[in-house]
Every structure is written in C-alpha cells, then in structure tokens.
Amino acid sequence: MILTDKAIRSSKPRDSVYRLREVGGGVKGFGVTIAPAGSKTFFLGYTAPGSAKRTQINLGRYPATGLKDARQRAYEAREALSRGIDPRDQVRDQAIAQEALNNRGTVSDLFDVYVRDLELDEKRSAKEVQRIYIKHIGPVIGDKLVATVTTDDVLDVVTPIVRRGSPVHADNVRAYLRAAFELGIHAKNIARWRGQIPDFGIAYNPVAATRRAVKRKPVGTRVLDWSEVSAVWSSSGLSASSRMAIQFLIATGQRVEEVLRASWGEFDFDENLWVIPAERRKTRNTSSEPHVVPLTLLHRELLKTIKETSQSGEWLFPHQDGQQPRSANALCHATRRFCVKNQLKPFAPRDCRRTFKTLTGSIGIDLELRNRLQGHAMTDVGSVHYDRWSYLPQKREGMELWAEALENKLRARKPPAPSNE
C-alpha cells in the first residue's frame, strides 16, 4: 500500500497508538503514526548501520508537514543509510548547523555595525546609510540572516528603485550594501569588532555579482578656459548666491563641500586666513590638521559682497531656510541650467577646483605648492612623519600670484563701457 493524503485524513484515532506503513512500494519503512489524541506523525523505521537494532526517526507532524515532504525526507534518510550514515546523526548535525545559523546576525544587525563603524570613523555618510537602510533595505531583507542573503535578494532591493526611474540612487544603495557585506566578511579581523558582534558567516559578497545600473563615468576632465571663467564671473544668468559660490570656488580652488559648508567663524580677517577645521576636510582620516587658505584682497572683496547678500548669520551660502548650508546638488542644478541657457559647454561646480589647479599651473605655480594651496593630503614619508613646516609664506605668495593673474584676465575681458555718442 502506498500512503495517500486521503488515507491519512480518513484514519481515525483508536484506544492505542497504531501505524500505517507503506508496503509493496514507496519508501521502505516509511509510515505515519496515529496517536489516541488524534495526532499523526510521519516516521521512518530502519536498522541502524553496524547494528541489528531496529529504530525510527520522526519526519514531521501531519498536516504541518505534508505527505510529499515527509516522503522526500524518508527517501533522503534511506540515501544516507545506503552510505552507512545513521539518519539520526544526520538530523542532529543539521539541528546543530541550524542553531549555529540562528545565532548569526541578520541584515539589520549588519547595518547596525556598519553605521556604527562609519560613525566611529567620523564619516558624514553614516546618516545617509541609516536613512537608505530604513527606506530601501530593511523592509526587503532586514530580517534575513546575513549568511543566507543571495544575489537575488540584493536585486530585490535595487531593482524597484531602478524601475522607479532612479538608477543613480539604486547604484548608491548597491554600493552601501556591498560595503556593509565587505565589513561583515572582515569584521572578525578588525580589533574594534572582534568578539563584539555576531559571526555573520558570510561566505562571499552577494553584491559583487550584480552590475551597476549606470555606467561609471570617466574621470572628469572639464576645465574652464579664461574666457569661460570671465563669462561665468560676470554673468547675470546665475542668481547672486550661485554666482558668488562659483566665483569663490574658482578664486580659492577648494572643494565644493568645503566652500558651501563654510561658516563665518572660520575666517580670520586680521590675519587674512580661512581656516578649514580638520573634521570638515576630505583628508580628515589622514590628517588631523586644519587646512589654512591665505586670503588676498580679491578674496576679501568677494567675502564682503557675500556677507552683504547672505541671509544667514552663520553660513556663507545658506539654504533658503537659513538654518543650514546650501546643498551641492542645488548648486549643480543651477550651474546646469546656466550652461544650457547660455549655450556654454556643461560644467559642474567641482570642475572649478580642476580649473584652479590647471590655470595656476599655467601661470607658473609648481605642482607641490598647488597641492598645498588646495589641501591635498601629502602622503610621502617625509611629509607625513617629518615635515612640520606650514608653508604659509609660500602659500600666500602663490595665492597672491593667482589673484593677480585672475584679476588681470577678468579686467582684460571686461566688455568696454557703452559709448555716449
């Protein structure tokens, strides 16, 4: 007799336990036990390897475990017996493995560690990662054990974002996922986390096999020439705030975020210095020193105009609410609209830094001084361990040379005054 769902359902409890077995086909020793209370449990009876003793293992209670699944388990147990393995040992090993797996962390646990790791390293991206996890990652795979996450699970997170028309954002989410899994793989070898977090048991990074939604753009090469600098400098096609931000970027050569997040408290007008705190520098992980930018008369005049038009007592370039600095994205959008309207070859605010580096080179300022003016990390052994000179006199001289050249070029390209004739 081959067991069927109908036969099992119709089996009524008796005063004592009884069994229905498969005979004449099916899986040898497979059957179901019916208890007086009415419970029905699948089993497999067999002779243990190396012993003449008969025993049995339970394969699950009906109907929570279906007949098909129970028969498959019985078949797998018979396969183990054919290899000389006692199914009871196999079940015990599986239970131990499952318990170990259950003690491993979830994706939620992994991102808790990842965000904390970013915070300990004082990374500004920590809040962004937390926001992205809550919005996109947690609802999809937050409860999954990290060790069980597959490439398909990763795609379940990023694909809906791409289909909503946000491929760049999808790539950002993908990048944070990849970084989190990399941390999970190596965390046991990082002193700050050793013994402090679950063993995530990650065999491989499931994000690695996925592809970016947007092709990586080549390294930027856009440099504004002198005529373009003059056009942007004097243009009425930009708002006053946007125009002055671009002017200050070109005049100082500093990073976009360093300029837009600058506060008035960073400027020493007695010493003609702009002191960018170490914690605001991109190189803060390799240098604990602030970056000192010398100011010329050109910079002071720019700052005076900025101060007169600023609506904030704290920021040079405030957001409309006056409570926070203006965002880089807002300046990017303004610059893009300006280029389209004026049929100018597109450029982004960050290209102003490359323009500074290139044009200061064209007037004879050497590369090392240009790097120091722009606050690049000096990573050679001598600079890192031995050179403690500030190079401020040289930086002042270089910035004066740049300001003079810039003013001369702007003056030379200034349109003539209209004739009264």
pLDDT attached to residue 418: 40
pLDDT attached to residue 283: 57
Q: Concatenated DSSP letters for 152-208?
A: HHHHHHHHHHHHTT-HHHHHHHHHHHHHHHHHHHHGGGSTTTTTTS-----SS-TTT
Please name which of 271, 282, 261, 252 lies closest in space to residue 377, comparing C-alpha atoms.
282
Fold category of 226-412 in CATH: hpI Integrase; Chain A (1.10.443)
pLDDT along the chain (421 residues), means of 10: 89 92 85 92 90 86 90 90 86 60 78 92 88 95 92 95 91 95 89 82 90 74 93 86 95 95 94 90 65 95 91 83 84 91 90 96 94 80 56 94 95 56 36
Determine contact, residues 403/250, Cβ cutoff 8 Å: no
Place of tokens 């994205």: 329
Question: What CA–CA distance (Å, rounded) separates 91 from 80?
Answer: 11
3-state helix, strand, coil in the chain (%, to 5): 50, 10, 40
What pTM does this model have?
0.54
In which element (H, E) is residue 356 found? helix 351-362
pLDDT attached to residue 103: 57
Question: What CA–CA distance (Å, rounded) separates 166 from 336?
Answer: 19
Reply yes or no on domain 5-102 having CATH 3.30.930.10. no
pLDDT attached to residue 249: 97
CATH architecture of the domain 107-189 equals Orthogonal Bundle (1.10)
> Is 107-189 in the same CATH topology as 5-102?
no
Domain boundaries, the chain: 5-102, 107-189, 226-412
Instruction: List the Cα angle 334/335/340 in 5-degree steps.
Output: 100
Place of tokens 């904030």: 312
Cross-strand bridge partners of residue 57: 44
pLDDT attached to residue 205: 94
Determine contact, residues 214/167, Cβ cutoff 8 Å: yes
What is the CB-side half-sphere exposure of residue 368 using CA atoms within 13 A? Answer: 6
